[in-house]
Structure 1
Amino acid sequence: MSSWLPRNPAELDKAVTGAERDAILDAIRSLNDDARLGDSEAFYAQQRLLARIYGLHTLIPEGPSAEGSVLLHTITRLLEEATIEAEDGYIEPGLIDQAPAEPAAYLSWLKKLAREHRVYKHPYYREFIRDEATSADLRTYVMQESVVDGRFDDLLAMMQVGTSGAAKMEIAQNFWDEMGNGKPEEVHTHLFNKIFEVFEIPADELERSLTANALLSGNLAVLLCRYRQYYPEAVGFLGMTEWLVPDRFVQVVHAWERLGLPDIGIVYHRLHITVDSQHAAGWFHNVVIPAAESEHMRRAIARGTLWRLNSSARYLDERMPAVAV
């Protein structure tokens, strides 16, 4: 199916019809079923295909693109619905029902959820990255992290569509900070890419290196920011991402300095230790608290928060066996 992506959408829909179309959709459903039952290869294939499809919506093509294909949209929705169902399955039954209705108390409850979650101050960062990681380990680390860090500006741009008032201003300020406050050399994705230069990471290796859980992290971010119906989930997902970053990046900076790696490669992480602390505080007070007046928003923000916490925990747990080998 990846070979379909650089095709004209109308031509693709005209070429794949009838029994062939039904067979393709059945194959996607079978792939989703296998992934749901714990087949690691199916899970990887599912998330890899979804990531490649999302590339149509987040990258400027050099030629024809299947973006807009009805068939491809149907496939995308099957993959997304299976991913959503799986992620919801990791949420403890009844947990979201415990959320307080009063906005300030709700925010405190969200933070408490994070502090009591096993992902908070995860040993991958606090022990391995900080004190044991080699330069090769950091090289692997930045490749996996690229699925979110490498396009955070685009995620913010997508999620702010349709917002207004304090929430729109907060997201816009966050976005402008990501844009280096108008200075091209300080754009955060540009600074992040300096790490790739230090480690000499080519694009084809980057794609091959991504694990299923790393792909999932990137896919969840795009899924929530792309669709307006998932805006509140995106608020929880990205807000929690920024809240967790400063403590994690302190450990990365410590490792970078311990290994004596080129200073140009760690500017991004140093910057975000301070910036994301400010962003998280502004996000909580200008985006989360006003939205928390609504029960629908409270439940959905909590859902997105838990998606981030749970998926991040699985992603970091996945890194630990490789560390022990």
Structure 2
Amino acid sequence: MLEVGTSRAGTEPASRFLTTVDEVTVLLGTAADKADSQYSGDARTALLGRVAEINKAADAGDQQALYVQQYLLDRIYRLHTKLTDRETAEGSVVAHEIGRLLETATAEAQDRLIEPGLLEEAPTEPRAYLSWLKKTAREHRVYKHPYYHEFIRNRATEADLRNYVMQESVVDGRFDDLLAMMQVGTAGAAKMEIAANFWDEMGNGDRAQVHTTLFNKIFEVFQIPDEELERSLTANSLLNGNLAVLLCRYRSLYPEAVGFLGMTEWMAPDRFVQVVHAWERLGLPEVGIVYHRLHITIDSQHAQGWFHNVVLPAAESPRMRRAIARGILWRLNASATYLDERMPSVTG
């Protein structure tokens, strides 16, 4: 069975949840019709009850439960985002029910982190609304977070950068797929902007310049095997990756995805400047930093195009304004928690 890892917040394995993790893992590797026939009636009710217990413990602040919650959600998302030659439970009703329990608990936890009344403060005029979004981000504690500006830039060791890129893989390592998922059903200027962004991610047709390929060069520099990557991801790393998939795969959450991915690209250039500085300070191989150098310029351009061609037209709608802001705040808050988690290595 898969081994459950731990985050910095917990040093003991989440043993009381391991049975459920193992059970769900086996289920996800079973054909959909077989999984549903095995879990019907009382068996399904009992399994869903155990998943609900994990959510309840995570909601109460149990970091081991949070890890298990996000670990299982990541495994369910892999059914829909990775190709395989093995049987899976993609399409299974019970797998969907487990996923919805995990998604709902995750979304509710993020909504509770939003300052009460903040969404209601957003201006109604689109350009004023866009200025408000940027101002809200600049005033958030994650903006120019010391993890990047103090630690990564000036103190990070080669081992620290190695861990950094593993954690970042949950979003940076699959940004092209996120764009592909979120553009379904769009039209006009928004679809064209997403398409232009996607084509840049595809290296503008040059396979050697595909951004996921460039990102993976960092893994080659640090000789990071898949098994180590699996073990290294913390609860908050998994959470950030899961939030991106959650928002991009559901059409009803498209505006939240607009906010989440737009803020991701807007913050990236400043953060990557610090990573490049650290890379040069440590004298690491140039091939491993091409991805970050490229995105300092490209993400700045993408963010401006995103704001003006996707956000501004959508901001005519009160529903879209609220949802885009919700997605941005999810990104800001989740990123802050994730970066705070990384900070102990500065003083530890």
**Alignment size in residue pairs:** 325
> What is the TM-score with the length of structure 2 in the denominator?
0.93
Displaced runs of 4+ in structure 1, greater than 2 A? none
Aligned to 1:211, which of 208, 223, 234?
234
Task: Give a deviation string over 1:248-284, Cα, whole Å, max 9, x none.
Answer: 0000000000000010000000000000000000000
Give the structure 2 partner of residue 76 of structure 1: 99
Identity of aligned residues (%): 72
Q: CA deviation at 1:323?
A: 2.5
User: Is 1:55 matched up with 2:75?
Assistant: no
| Partner Cα distance (2:181, 2:93) in 1 | 22
- Bigger shift: residues 57-66 or 309-318: 57-66
Letter in 2 for 1:153: D
Residues 241-280 of structure 1 correspond to what in structure 2 (within 5 A)? Answer: 241-280=264-303
Residue 8 in structure 1 maps to residue 31 in structure 2: yes
Equivalent residue for 2:61, pick from 30, 38, 48: 38
Which residue in the other structure is 1:105 paired with?
Answer: 128
The aligned residue for residue 290 of structure 1 is 313
- How many angstroms apart in 2 are the aligned matches of 1:4 and 1:278? 44
The residue aligned with 2:194 is 171
SS at match of 2:343: helix
State the secondary structure of the residue aligned to 1:161: coil
Aligned residue number for residue 7 of structure 2: none
Measure, in 1, the Cα distance between the counterparts of 2:31 and 2:265: 38
Q: How many Å apart are 1:122 and its aligned residue?
A: 0.3
Whole-Å Cα distance in 2 between the matches of residues 197 and 5 of structure 1? 30
Structure 1: tracts of 5 or more residues without a match? none
**2:338 is matched with which residue?**
315
* CA deviation profile, 1:160-199 (whole Å, cap 9, x unmatched): 0000000000000000000000000000000000000000
1:124 is aligned to 2:144: no
Q: Determine the C-alpha separation between the residues in 1 that align with 2:207 and 2:302.
A: 20
Aligned equivalents of 1:144, 1:163: Cα separation in 2: 30
How far does residue 139 in structure 1 lie from its aligned partner after superposition? 0.1
RMSD: 0.5
Amino acid at match of 2:60: L
> 1:115 pairs with 108, 113, 138, which one?
138
Measured in 2, the distance between the counterparts of 1:179 and 1:9 equals 33
Q: TM-score, normalised by structure 1?
A: 0.99
Q: CA deviation at 1:322?
A: 2.8
The one-letter code of the counterpart of 1:182 is: G
The 2-side partners of 1:316 and 1:15 are apart by: 41
Does residue 93 of the first structure (1) align with residue 116 of the second (2)? yes
Give distance in 1, aligned partners of 2:249 and 2:214: 24
In 1, distance between residues paired with 2:180 and 2:207?
17
**In the alignment, which of 325, 328, 332 is matched to residue 305 of structure 1?**
328
